[in-house]
A and B are shown apart, each in its own frame.
Chain A
Amino acid sequence: MTELPTKTDRKLGLLIDLDTCVGCHACVISCKGWNTENYGAPLSDQSAYGANPSGTFLNRVHSYEITPDVGAAQLIHFPKSCLHCEDAPCVTVCPTGASYKRVEDGIVLVNESDCIGCGLCAWACPYGARELDAAEGVMKKCTLCVDRIYNENLPEEDRVPACVRTCPAGARHFGDFADPDSAVSKLSAERGGMDLMPEQGTKPVNKYLPPRPKDTMEEIDVLAPLLAPVAEEPKGFMAWLDKTLEKI
């Protein structure tokens, strides 16, 4: 049913460190790689090698430029996928019950055999987290790799979402935000984990760690005293010559 649970036992989600992300897009590729051959319909591409390629992705990395009032501009790489909102507007609008939020861990999923592909859930999502697959005609979204995190056939270190497992910079963290003592909750509290578009009232579970302010270093240059300009103002005859030559 598309009624949201009043409370979920756990709140599994991602903590994404915007200070650390290097914008390599490895999470995008590993996400597509895992999810195109596991849960649900594959993530299709249209004209992948043609003039106008397009395809379904559950995770995309934007890049933004921040220009502070003083100092140099900063480039921030910004991975974006489903935030598994507590008050998920995509779930309640679904007419068929295909979209649902799990009571046990808060993951928002689509039951693809019930999806009619009306697209209303994608309309209701502020974050662009849902994409209608052009080949299958059903809605695709991040599953938080539900087929990895509980998969006992995988070695334990692999039981995290593919994007987290692959991130070479360690910018992505996975855990339970309902537990205040979990690593993600602690890190989020310490670094001021923030919600995207809080004014939309979706109460996202995923949090973003803001880029830390650039530290400023005092300029220390051991050679500076030796490089002081040696040219002095000329005096006497040389001063007269200098002036005269200037006038000519």
Chain B
Amino acid sequence: MHPAPSVIIFTTLSGLGFGLLFFLGFGMPAPKGLVAFIFFAIAYVLAVGGLLSSTFHLGHPERAIKAFSQWKTSWLSREAWLAVAALITMAIYGAGLVFYGVAVAPIGWIGGLLSLATVYATSMIYRQLKTVPRWNTPMTPLLFLLFSLAGGALLSGQVQIALLLLVSVGIAQIAYWIGGDQALEKSGTNLSTATGLGRNGAVRAFEPPHTGTNYLLREFVYVVGRKHAAKLRIISLILTIGTPVLILSLTVTHVTALIAVLSHIAGVFVSRWLFFAQAEHIVGLYYGKR
């Protein structure tokens, strides 16, 4: 799959923002006044910035409002509803903390759960696609949720929880990669089933329909950089988990905490890039590619 920067930025930043909102909603921490304002500002910049970024890959962003209509069947539509609901609920809870110094706990809990549900809806957009075997696994939502929670714990300064979640992310990430590398073969879809010609002999793509490229090849058959995948996986693990865990195990100051957060975000970007770039869409089979 083509790793569109707008979608990578969106899933990474929004995941972090909603993760932070989750912890804020559950009063971890429950700051007041200016400190509360700064916490909520960071969360909203990440969550809303990510959502705005996602509109850049649309052909007609001016019609984006129509995406709220099909919540009965479409995870993209559900994501839109959940995001708006989470942001509004948390804004009410945040306003209480910032302006009145009051934490209305039930509103925070609802907002926190809606934030997590938004991340789940995002992950389901990918998980539901049978056409991309690497994504078509419960590991996809698990990974998205763990990334979001670990980032949120890191941003909200929950050291012990962050350590636990970062290690969980590492385990889930490695499991996802190992499973993903065999997903296409295990899906049972190949050029033989794609063309139905397998019963007559071994099938080989002889000629593509056109000499040039097309939308399908640009969007679904992205192979650039896959050869560096192994190195990038290690880099991602070090940045996402290694650096923050090391820093959190030592003494945490504002500066080292910032380094841990930035390293984590950079690592998630790499992981998310791999998530797209390594995903094989089965339409590539028709072109003799993967």
Chain A residues engaging chain B, CB cutoff 8 angstroms: 1-3, 18, 25, 28, 52-57, 60-69, 73-76, 78, 80, 89, 91-98, 114-120, 122-128, 131-134, 136-139, 194-201, 208, 210-211, 213
Contacts and interface: CB of A to CB of B under 8 A. Distances in A.
B74 A137 contact: no
Top 9 A-B pairs, shortest CB-CB distance: A117-B59, A137-B59, A60-B209, A68-B201, A128-B283, A95-B76, A95-B67, A96-B66, A63-B207
A104 to B, nearest CB: 20
Given A120-B76, A128-B216, A64 B189 contact: no
A75 B206 contact: yes
A64 B197 contact: yes
Contact of A57 (B72, B73, B128, B214): B214
B194 A196 contact: yes
Interface string B182-209: 0000011101011111011111111111
A124 B131 contact: yes
B59 A64 contact: no
Given A116-B64, A124-B131, A197-B189, A66 B209 contact: no
A17 B219 CA distance: 29
Contact of B200 (A68, A89, A134): A68
B76 to A, nearest CB: 4
Given A200-B130, A213-B200, 17 more contacts: A57-B209, A62-B209, A63-B207, A64-B197, A66-B204, A69-B201, A74-B201, A92-B73, A93-B128, A95-B68, A115-B59, A115-B60, A116-B63, A126-B282, A138-B60, A196-B195, A197-B193
Given A92-B73, A116-B64, A62 B207 contact: yes
Contacts of B169: none
Contacts of B226: none
Nearest to A119: B219
A54 B206 contact: no
A123 B70 contact: no
A117 B69 contact: no
B263 interface: no
Given A67-B201, A196-B195, A131 B214 contact: yes
A48 to B, nearest CB: 10
Interface string B64-89: 10111110111111001000000000
Contacts of A128: 216, 220, 283, 286
Contacts of A18: 197
A200 B196 CA distance: 13
Given A2-B70, A197-B189, A54 B213 contact: yes
B58 A56 contact: no
Contacts of B196: 194-196, 208, 210
Contacts of B195: 64, 76, 78, 196
B290 to A, nearest CB: 14
Contact of A94 (B74, B80, B201, B216): B74
A64 B203 contact: yes
A97 B197 contact: no
Interface in B213-243: 213-216, 219-220
A99 B77 CA distance: 13
Contacts of A201: 130
Contacts of A62: 205, 207-209, 286-287
B71 to A, nearest CB: 8
Contact of A1 (B64, B72, B206): B72
A198 to B, nearest CB: 7
Nearest to A125: B131
A64 B76 contact: no
B200 A54 contact: no
A18 B282 CA distance: 21
Given A66-B197, A120-B125, A128-B283, A136 B213 contact: no
B117 interface: no
B130 to A, nearest CB: 6
